[in-house]
């Protein structure tokens, strides 16, 4: 659909709700007025893009009732786009032929806090020793507090060789050492016998890869 093909369906959609509607008023693609209510502005685009968002944000300097209008996409709109519009307080209209659906209405946005996420983040912050990662991308795997605990076990086994699980737990002071060695998510450990572990080739390689981390854990 062309932008001009979006206009008439949007116009009729708003007129059906009692608005007087006109196109190209000032910088606005569509301006709708109903009595003494705040005016409604609709910006039209053939696809959802940054320019459309910036136009919508700019029109919020005139009114809180700002909609973005796009043709119905071939695939469902990603939830990220809907969340972004919500966060910005922008409404979203989707046009399919002469049919218009309001996916979102403009509204002030207050993000819902998730206490558990905060708890997990702060717990990870407290457990992690030092600051072993670089902000942004990294060539090696992310060093988490869990990986640091696994590296403590690697360090111990490198120094002592095959050892009893009870000794590893006692000497490393890693409370979850038993779970780490049994599940072995990184492939660093080999079970020699019941309750006895030693380093795998991957575990030996981790000593080089994470040498800086081993120096501080």
Asked if residue 112 belongs to a domain, the reply is: no
Does residue 1 have a pLDDT over 80? no
Predicted local confidence at residue 138, as pLDDT: 67
Residue 166 contacts residue 194 (beta carbons within 8 Å): no
Q: Are 13 and 42 in contact (CB under 8 A)?
A: no
Query: What is the three-class DSSP state of 117?
Result: helix
| pLDDT tens per residue across span 161-180 | 999 999 999 999 999 999 99
Q: Could you say which of 104, 133, 154 is where a domain stops?
A: 104
pLDDT value at 136 more than 70 = no
Confidence of residue 139 (pLDDT cuts 50, 70, 90): confident
Query: Which structural domain range is residue 63 located in?
Result: 3-104
Q: What is the CATH number of the domain that holds 193?
A: 1.10.10.10
User: Per-residue pLDDT averaged across 118-131, rounded?
Assistant: 92
87 and 167 part of one domain: no
State mean pLDDT over 119-137: 86
d(CA 43, CA 52): 7
Number of structural domains (the chain) is 2
At 92-122, the pLDDT tens digits run: 999 998 889 999 999 887 777 889 989 999 9
Q: Which of 79, 104, 129 is the last residue of a domain?
A: 104
For residue 73, tell me if it sits in a domain. Answer: yes
Whether 63 is covered by a domain: the verdict is yes
Residues 201 and 150 reside in one and the same domain? yes
The enclosing domain of 57 has a CATH number of: 3.40.1350
In a domain? residue 121? no
End-to-end CA distance of the chain: 60
pLDDT confidence tier of residue 137, bands split at 50, 70 and 90: low
Last residue of a domain, one of 59, 84, 104: 104
- The span from the CA of 172 to the CA of 166, in Å, is 10
Q: Are residues 173 and 85 in the same domain?
A: no
**pTM given for the model:** 0.65
Contact 52, 70 (CB under 8 A): yes
191, part of any domain: yes
Which residue do the tokens 């502005």 mark? Answer: 41
């Amino acid at each position: 659909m062309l932008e001009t093909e979006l206009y008439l369906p949007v116009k009729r959609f708003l007129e059906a709700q009692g608005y007087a509607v006109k196109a190209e008023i000032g910088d606005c693609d569509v301006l709708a007025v109903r009595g003494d209510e705040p005016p409604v502005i609709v910006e039209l685009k053939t696809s959802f893009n940054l320019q459309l968002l910036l136009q919508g944000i700019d029109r919020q300097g005139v009114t809180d009732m700002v909609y973005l209008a796009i043709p119905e996409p071939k695939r469902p709109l990603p939830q990220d786009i809907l969340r972004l519009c919500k966060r910005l307080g922008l409404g979203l209209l989707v046009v399919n032929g002469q049919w218009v659906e309001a996916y979102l209405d403009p509204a002030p946005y207050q993000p819902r806090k998730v206490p558990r996420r905060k708890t997990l983040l702060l717990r990870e912050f407290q457990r992690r020793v030092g600051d072993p990662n670089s902000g942004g991308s990294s060539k090696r795997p992310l060093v988490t507090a869990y990986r640091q605990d696994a590296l403590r076990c690697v360090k111990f086994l490198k120094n002592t060789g095959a050892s009893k699980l009870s000794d590893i737990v006692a000497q490393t002071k890693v409370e979850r050492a038993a779970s780490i060695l049994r599940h072995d998510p990184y492939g660093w450990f080999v079970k020699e016998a019941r309750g006895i572990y030693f380093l795998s080739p991957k575990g030996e390689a981790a000593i080089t890869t994470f040498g800086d981390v081993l120096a501080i854990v």
